[in-house]
Structure 1
Amino acid sequence: MSASERTSDVRALLDSSYRAALQAVAPARLLAPFLTGPRPDFVLAFGKAALPMLRAALDTYRGVPGLAVPPRGTPDLSAPGGTDVWPGSHPIPDEHSARAAEQALARVRALPQGAQLLVLVSGGGSALLSAPWGVTLAQKQTLTGELLRAGADIGEINVIRKHLSQVKGGRLAQATRAQVRALIISDVIGDDPSVIASGPTVPDPSSFAEALSLLDRYGLSAPEARAHLTAGVRGDLAETPKAGELTHTQNTIIGSNRVLLEAAQAFLAARGVRSVILGDTFAGEACDLAGFHASLVQSVRSYGTPFQGPLVLLSGGEATVTVRGDGQGGRNQEFALWLLQALGERGVYALSAGSDGIDGNSEAAGAFLTPDSHARAQTLGLNPREFLTRNDSGRFFAALGDALITGPSGHNLNDYRALWVES
């Protein structure tokens, strides 16, 4: 087999492992075992998987009215009759997100005592369902953008969001007299339901004081937000509901990054390929994660430790990127470019991609690496370090022909990394 044929085969294997894993844990499949119990009187779905989750639920509960809040730009916005679809914006909320939240609040507030409310939650819900409190929508947009650029992780961003919102941090559930059953697909490390989509149906352990301290940590002025949070610290505003307060609500995690990685492992095993799941809780800067993975690749190659090759190393979680440039890309392509930089001429077969099909501000879901990526980049005059300085990994991999383009997946289960390593 020629080098080009081998590259094509391994790249296709990694690509197929990603797509097959997403198909195996499609929202409808994750949801099906949990569609039991009382028939709901209303179904509210929001997040990147809102529409596939709602369609699956209404296949079981035909005729139940519903409201879906998917990302604007979702290719297929069709929904069963009796369902309203109000697309919102992600990752920065906009006026569509605010209108969607108004609709959701109006519908759940109108439900009588004893009614059954089914809430279907998936990643991205924080931005898609946005009801600003104490700040204007424009001010919240600006603050969210500043937090993302400063490198705040999703948990930290959500602490602030919860205390500037009428729906997050358990306030959505607090707004209804109905019995609430929430089925949740996790897109956060650790699968804490109070963090996923900022926990609209979950008691909130965070506080106004914690939110205010995060603004200090990242050096953000945000005067209007500060004034609101300070009023909360003084006790002038009601805190988010705490443990024991939402007794009419049940929250269940039905899918996570771990499930995605296990599906990929099963796919590879069926093809006779050994794989190891390194973990689903990797966090931190993409450059640091890439450095760790590069060290592991080198150890397997040189010493056969801690694993004997050939095998595929699988990992998940969610990297972060402190943005200092004005380029295109996202955390998965940034990880891949740092991995290329770390390994240099002795490269590796790898795929790093977001399970939602969108990586940052690029059109790609992620990027591939091959052992000759460094040599091909040199031939084209592409300097990885220069692209990293600009946070321009998207343009680097597009020029190299190694961007993974899938379009929105209608799902969100964190990051997917697969590295083929031989001893």
Structure 2
Amino acid sequence: MTDSASIDPRALLEAAYREALLAVAPDRLLAPHLTEPRPDFVLAFGKAALPMLRSVLEAYPGVPGLAVPPSGTADLSAPPGAKVWPASHPVPDASSVHAAETALQRVAVLPAGSRLLVLVSGGGSALLSSPWGVTLAQKQALTRELLRSGATIQEMNAVRKHLSRIKGGRLAAATPAEVRALLLSDVIGDDPSVIASGPTVPDVTTFADALAVLDRYGVAAPEARAHFLSGIRGEVPDTPKALPNVHNSVIGSNRMLLEAAQRWLEARGVRAVILSDTFGGEARELAEFHASTVHSIRQHGTPFSAPVFLLSGGEATVTLASAGVGIGGRNQEFALWLLHDLGEHGVYALSAGSDGIDGGSPAAGAFLTPDSQQRARAAGLDIADALARHDSGTFFAVLGDALVTGPSGHNLNDFRAIWVE
């Protein structure tokens, strides 16, 4: 075991994050699955659309393909034989609608017996948008309201599936081809029907479930409600409940990301434990749990003895208190609440999104150091005020503790690591 006094915790935190992403890069995750017969068409959408498509077309040169990555992706060059149509995330726009219509038209003309390979990664819900029962503007407004409400990804997807011609298995239902879908999971529990709103997966949710989400969060959305009521009355068809022409496989997950970080850290002689890859709920409550765990380790040596790296994943939510919010995202909000809860008894920690983007900020996440509170006070920063305004991004940028990586071309949910000495 490495002497803890010789460790540079901040450097190890960043290196573990970056090395874990490399270990579970899309090309490495796809490689074992590219031994099947050659597909006739490849459709890739999501934050990892381009690296996934490029990897597949290296294995199957000449196969036609379509990739739908987020606008702003650094390298939007199309692989030979493929087309690239960037679209909007996290709120769909006209480019998202065009991408969905193009995808539906392309898979619909594939003949029976042909092979369609679908590559799915996080962000696909917004990138492929084919509004049904509402206009694009109405769907945009509803998506923004649900994002602000703190609704879970499962709840949001129940709504989106029932306002779409492509989600909830409708993409697969639109083609007579045999469909094989390879999915990178950015959702807790790795449920294929939730990843990108499950365009190739039978859907267990109903119009009634979608309506219940709007009721739960007090969302008016009269047009969406009218459409859901039409579905409840049987006037429009529900999402498909069986898709015999489809085989779905989840090939990447948050658990794999955390295990890669654990292996990398332990290979350097430091102990690392995974608390869970399924943490959800409010960032504030999640930070409180992690702070309590740190206190317990320090005071009682339970549930683990120090020194130790605590790793965790999943996806926190942030319910915005007002319209006038600052800059940040769920990972920086978690880090700021952890700083608030630990106070003067700080730690080295990193909370970051595996996609390299945290909410509306330019950062992937943020670092903490044992003296973060003292440095914040010296810089004139008020932790309580930043939390009240959800302005964690500005807070950590001023401190010089924002982790800025740019989009990673990947998405396996969140990465949290805490060093307890």
Deviations 1:189-229 (CA, angstroms, capped at 9, x unpaired): 00000000000000000000000011011001101111111
Q: Secondary structure at the match of 2:8?
A: helix
Partner of 1:34: 33
- For the pair 1:253 / 2:250, whether they are aligned, the reply is yes
The amino acid that maps onto 2:256 is V
* Cα displacement string for residues 33-78 of structure 1 (whole angstroms, at most 9, x for unaligned residues): 0012111000000000000000000000100000000000000011
**1:10 positional shift:** 1.1
The 5-angstrom pairing of residues 267-416 of structure 1 reads: 267-325=264-322, 326-416=325-415
Secondary structure at the aligned position of 1:267 is classed as helix
CA distance in 1, matches of 2:305, 2:350: 20
Contact 1:93 1:127 in 2 (8 A): yes
Question: In 1, Cα distance between the equivalents of 2:137 and 2:28?
Answer: 38
Q: Which residue identity lines up with residue 253 of structure 1 in the other structure?
A: V
SS at match of 1:412: coil
Contact 1:367–1:404 (Cα < 8 Å) also in 2: yes
Helix, strand or coil at the partner of 1:323: coil
Deviation at 1:8, TM superposition (A): 9.0
- In structure 1, the partner of 2:67 is 68
Number of aligned residues: 415
TM-score by length of 1: 0.97
Q: Secondary structure of the equivalent of 2:67?
A: strand
Amino acid at match of 1:257: N
What SS does the aligned partner of 2:407 have? coil
Give the direction of change, closer, same or farther, for the CA distance of 1:331–1:8 in structure 2 (3 Å limit).
farther
Q: Answer whether contact 1:186 1:196 (CA < 8 A) is retained.
A: yes
Match of 2:160 in 1: 161
- The answer to whether the Cα contact below 8 Å between 1:68 and 1:83 also exists between their aligned partners in 2 is yes
- Partners of 1:290 and 1:332 lie apart in 2 by 10
Residue in 2 that maps onto 1:263? 260
After TM superposition, the runs of 4+ consecutive aligned structure 1 residues lying more than 6 A away are none
**1:140 corresponds to 2:143:** no
Q: Give the Cα separation in 2 of the matches to 1:28 and 1:86.
A: 21
Quote the Cα distance in structure 1 between the aligned partners of 2:237 and 2:9. Answer: 55
Q: Which residue of structure 2 lines up, in the alignment, with residue 212 of structure 1?
A: 211
1:17 aligns with 2:33: no
Letter in 2 for 1:353: A
Give a deviation string over 1:251-276, Cα, whole Å, max 9, x none.
00000000000000011011001000
Q: Is the CA contact (8 Å cut-off) linking 1:7 and 1:370 kept in structure 2?
A: no
> Contact 1:173 / 1:200 at 8 angstroms: preserved in 2?
yes
1:45–1:68 Cα contact (<8 Å) kept: yes
1:316 is paired with a residue whose SS is strand
How far apart, in 2, do the equivalents of 1:318 and 1:34 lie? Answer: 27
Taking only the aligned residue pairs, the percentage that are identical comes to 71
Q: CA–CA distance in 2 between the matches of 1:312 and 1:206?
A: 39
Match of 1:48 in 2: 47
| Aligned amino acid, residue 304 of structure 1 | G
Distance 2:24 2:320 in 1: 32
What is the CA distance between 1:7 and its match in structure 2? 11
Aligned to 1:177: 176
Task: Work out the CA distance in 2 between the residues paired with 1:236 and 1:150.
Answer: 30
Give the Cα separation in 1 of the matches to 2:46 and 2:32: 20
Q: CA offset at residue 381 of structure 1?
A: 1.1
State the one-letter code of the partner of 2:253: S
Deviation of 1:363 (Å): 0.3
| 5+ residue gaps, structure 2 | none
Shift of 1:360: 0.2
Distance 1:230 1:135 in 2: 13
* CA distance in structure 2 between the aligned counterparts of 1:50 and 1:227, rounded to whole angstroms: 34
Rounded to whole Å, the distance in 2 between the matches of 1:193 and 1:343 is 37
Amino acid at match of 1:308: S
TM-superposed deviation, 1:401: 0.5
Aligned-partner Cα distance in 2 for 1:217–1:37: 44
Give the partner amino acid of 1:126: S
The one-letter amino acid paired with 1:320 is T
Distance (Å, rounded) in 1 between the aligned partners of 2:7 and 2:366? 15
CA RMSD of aligned residues (A): 1.0
Report the Cα offset of residue 79 of structure 1: 2.3
Cα deviation per residue 1:254-302 (whole Å; 9 max; x = unaligned)? 0000000000001101100100000100000000000000000011011
TM (norm. structure 2) is 0.98
How far the C-alpha of 1:324 sits from its partner, in A, is 1.6
Tell me if structure 2 keeps the 8 A contact 1:282–1:318: yes
Paired position in structure 2 for 1:3 = none
Instruction: Output the CA distance in 1 between the equivalents of 2:176 and 2:420.
Output: 55
Unpaired stretches in structure 1, ≥5 consecutive residues: 1-5
How many Å separate the matches in 1 of 2:387 and 2:270?
A: 33
